[in-house]
Amino acid sequence: MKATVFGTGYVGLVQAAVMAASGHEVVCVDKDAEKIAKLEQGIIPIFEPGLEEIVLTNRKNGRLRFTTDPEVGVSHGLVQFIAVGTPPDEDGAADLKYVLAVADTIGSLMSEKRIVVVKSTVPVGTCDQVKRTIEARLSKRERSHIPFDVASNPEFLKEGSAVSDCLKPDRIILGTASSETEAIMRELYMPQNRNHEKMIVMDVRSAEMTKYAANTLLATKISFINEIANLADILGADIEMVRKGIGSDPRIGYHFIYAGIGYGGSCFPKDVQALIRTGDQQKYDMHLLKAVEARNATQKRVLLDKILRYFDGNVEGRTFALWGLSFKPNTDDMREAPSRAIMESLWEKGARIRAYDPKAMDECRRIYGDREDLILVEQQEDALDNADALIVATEWKSFSAPDFDEIAAKLKSPVIFDGRNLYDPHQLKRHGLDYFAIGRNG
């Protein structure tokens, strides 16, 4: 089948590459000429395991093409995916200007039947707006007879495992009232839907809502466990024991109840905020989500407070080794990363950072540029040189079993502040290291 994808961010690029790898002919459109030029040369703008390989293979065999020309995109695919960003506007609501601009473009250029599929995370009612935008364009062109449908097909991929999530989705949510659209989308998703029925078809508004409900429930789980972890700290309980204890109940489950230094990334913070604003617009107070958001904001400071307490509030002139910059492992994405809140607060207080991350060093350079109080090192052990203490902000695999004797010997104050609960407190004691984690310090 022929499909077009507008937007070559995480969602668009991965969706396009996976569709091409499944045998479809895909054109990607992005207005960022530099990005498209790089993609045409086989340079992938993000680090995502497995992505480079499928982009390169399918670019070579011609099933995946890139262009800045929307005309090429609109004339190519029967199915037109909108996968552009929906960043928060000034008051936190999802800004739909990019989504509606693509709808307008499709309406301006289409000359035959099109199925427009909204993949971007959008508030309930957006597909109706997309439909009205296209209708308005068509009637201005006096082409109102051209048939089209607008469907919702939210994406549930996780950064760091985006390609495999997309190749083997837990579910394919499709919001449409049209049996023809359903049939076309079933054909498109056939490779993902072959062995088990993954497609859940519903009305458009429910599909739009499903995406926000999923992300905000996951964010709620994280803020909940973080709140319990902070109380465990005060009361002398160990959150890791509590996690195992509650996770064994299948109604709760082991997934997504890891205490830490708050959720980051491009999705949870933005989507929680956007759903709160949707509630506000409807004069419905989203009490619970407001608490989830507030807990997350304070959680990003929990480790920092432990650091300041340890050093009696004075970190000026001290150097901190920092392991992990990305908001989670297997990505170079630092959007809303807890590491940023930690670095920025320590810098404000006159401390220096020696940081290492397996993938996000270039991104860190891009964000912060050259500064005296930030040194990026090539090996994780090098971060420890002349450092007072070690902070762990991301649970990359390579941080999980380090040489604790080396850490104890290198650090001026042998102490680890672990925002991801990677280590066994008893083991660290044996190596002569002080250890502060989340919800396990008594």
Closest among 159, 127, 175, 395 to 268, alpha carbons compared:
159
* % helix, strand, coil for the chain, step of 5: 45, 15, 40
Burial of 185 (0-12, 13-18, 19+ CB in 10 A): buried
- 268 vs 320 by CB, closer to ligand UGA: 268
359 binds ligand UGA (CB under 6 A): no
* Residues 6 or more apart in contact with residue 33 via CB below 8 angstroms: 68
- Residue 312's alpha-carbon distances to 165, 203, 315, 370, in angstroms, are 45, 57, 8, 29
Phi and psi at 24, nearest 5°, equal: -85, 160
Select from 159, 208, 238, 388 the one that contacts ligand UGA (CB under 6 A): 159
Q: Which is nearer to ligand UGA, 215 or 319 (CB)?
A: 215
Q: Does 290 bind ligand UGA (CB under 6 A)?
A: no
Residue 327, annotated ligand binder?
Answer: no
Site pattern 107..136 for ligand UGA (x: CB under 6 A): --------------x---------------
Q: How many C-beta atoms surround the C-beta of residue 299 within 10 A?
A: 24
Residue 267 known to be catalytic: yes
- Catalytic residue selected from 127, 166, 267, 364: 267
260 is in an annotated binding site: yes
State how far the alpha carbon of 172 is from the alpha carbons of 82, 120, 130, 150, 213, in Å: 16, 14, 21, 16, 15
Q: Tell me how far, at minimum, the Cβ of 263 lies from ligand UGA, in Å.
A: 3
263's tokens:
């959720």
Among the listed ranges 60-68, 139-147, 254-262, 358-366, the one in contact with ligand UGA (CB under 6 A) is 254-262
Using the rule CB under 6 A, which residue among 256, 310, 373, 377 binds ligand UGA?
256
Of the residues 99, 257, 304, 389, which one makes contact with ligand UGA according to CB under 6 A = 257
Question: Do residues 415 and 437 make contact, with C-beta atoms less than 8 angstroms apart?
Answer: no
Q: How far is the CB of 25 from ligand UGA (least distance, A)?
A: 25
> What x-and-dash track marks residues 206-225 binding ligand UGA by CB under 6 A?
---------x--x---x---
Measured CA to CA, the distance from residue 20 to residue 2 in angstroms comes to 9
Residue 263 engages ligand UGA in binding (rule: CB under 6 A): yes
Among 148, 268, 356, 396, binds ligand UGA (CB under 6 A): 268
DSSP β-ladder status, 64-67 and 79-82:
unpaired
Q: Establish whether 284 is an annotated binding residue.
A: no
Query: Applying CB under 6 A, which residues contact ligand UGA?
Result: 121, 155-159, 215, 218, 222, 256-258, 260, 263-265, 267-268, 327-328
Report the catalytic residues.
Answer: 267
Enumerate the known binding-site residues for substrate. 156-159, 211, 256-260, 264, 328
In the annotated binding site, the residues are 30, 35, 86, 121, 156-159, 211, 256-260, 264, 270, 328, 335
